Structure 1
Amino acid sequence: MQLLRLGELGHERPAVRTDDGSIFDLSSITPDIDGTFLAQNGIARARAGVESDSLPVVDTEGVRIGAPIARPGKVVCVGLNYSDHAAESGLDVPTEPVIFMKAPNTVVGPNDEVLIPRGSTKTDWEVELGVVVGQTGRYLESPEAAAEIIAGYVVSHDVSEREFQLERGGTWDKGKSCETFNPIGPWLVPADEVPDAGKLRLRLWVNGQLRQDGNTENLIFGIGHIVWYLSQFMVLEPGDVINTGTPAGVAMGMAGQPYLRAGDVVELEIDGLGKQRQQLAQA
């Protein structure tokens, strides 16, 4: 089972996709897929709705797929969490997770247009495993306790502007928070339906050329550790999204640094979590 949201931006309706590809309307169970839904045992209620055979089928032809979680309270990101990406960035492997934030309104649907910011010459790509928080987490006792608050997993595209991020002073956030800079989806896969989130292949193509090909088994700081660590510094709330880092293969680390331009097409996928496709346009 996968959870998704369908419809035009700002008017999405909740839906559930079953393993045979059928899609059903969840509007009778919840007005949206958000933190409230997750905190109130929403995934179990969605499963019960599917099993009851009472949910109406959704015709998805020509319908936009939105981000599978309504605007999160916060998007927390882990930088340099693959050793090969740290190396290509010319930076040391961190001894503690490197944390930064993205503005929540960067989140868009998996196939929505991504805008190159005005004045940008270094817009870059990053495929990442996204963790969606399902319960409040504060001062978790251990990395193992993280499993209790993880609702599920998503494909997340942490689009970045490297000049804004690294050459304009201050924190990384302004190179990460430009509009449309975090496509998520196509769906949210419940945590108990992902056999091992620590062994998922991530891939990304630009204009048909494979640029990134990694695996979450190579994370420096594992998923449980990240969630536990973050809970020591901030309260994690239902609906929050955590981007766990990207493997090597970004433009910044390549010969010639082939940053994204208007008209480029980026495609990305993670095993079992679905695929995304975005075309770049000038803001």
Structure 2
Amino acid sequence: MRVCYFTSGVTGSGRLVLGASICNGLRRLGHDIDFSVISAARNADFLAPITHYSIPIENEGDLDRAHFRGSRLFRQITQLKPDLLIVDLLWFALVHFIDELGCKKIFLSRQVDPGFFAIKPSRTLLRFDPAPYDRVLAIEPYDCPVTDEFINPIVIRNPEEILSREEACGRLGLDPWKRNCLFSLNVEDAAFRKAAESYSYLKDEGYALFYSSLFSEGLFPIVDYFNAFDLVVSGAGYNAFWEAVYFNKKAVFLPQPKRFENQKWRVDRCRDFRFTRNGADELSEIIAQMLYIY
């Protein structure tokens, strides 16, 4: 079975990490799934061995009803011939040809401004229509304007899959008997250095600081090493936040400004959320049922 995950991947690594999380959930089911990712990211080496297809963002004219068949996006999806297409937020790129795709389709939504579902890129007002999708799922607990179907947030690992404290500390050169702090922020180098300096005082409080950023070949997946850390300082994007909550880490979150996403909302409203299970496993079971692979 072929599953294709389509996302943006322009402003950071988070959307790609979500794809890897979904792939891991499918692998845990033990079925033979050919999983691939399509995004505009130019560097997605950390996804290996997942196959990534880089498709630069195309303009509205390339993707409109008269021209979409010549677009790189349409040609790539149809060439892959997926049995299932998973769309992470980026509905408007597909709006004029989603009905042309004969595969099953899932749309994933997380906390975004309601205006995200009615946008005017340049010439035409586009509105999200859930009808072409077999399932529309909210993947964090918010009042989603396009669906009332919610699954637990999606996380890349389950607790039994990550390293023990001794193993993680050994690989990172940290002392398991001392207090260790992870400072992880996937932003450009200058912004990373500025934020890291603000928390350098933690050294005076007895923490050994370990720094990681996917913009500078940081650890991936960082959750594999969570048992090494007594404190996590990270961004409040979808993955960083929900990984810390799922693994019950003592954490300081640094919300970053985003166009459609309010990361502060996530910190203020969701810190006390209690998982019933990993949403990656929930989604994988939904996919298995849709593709009749149980």
TM-score band w.r.t. shorter chain:
under 0.3
TM-score (norm 1): 0.25
Bigger share in helix: 2
| Bigger relative contact order (CA 8 A; separation at least 6) | 1
Bigger share in strand: 1
TM-score (norm 2): 0.24
The structure with more radius of gyration: 2
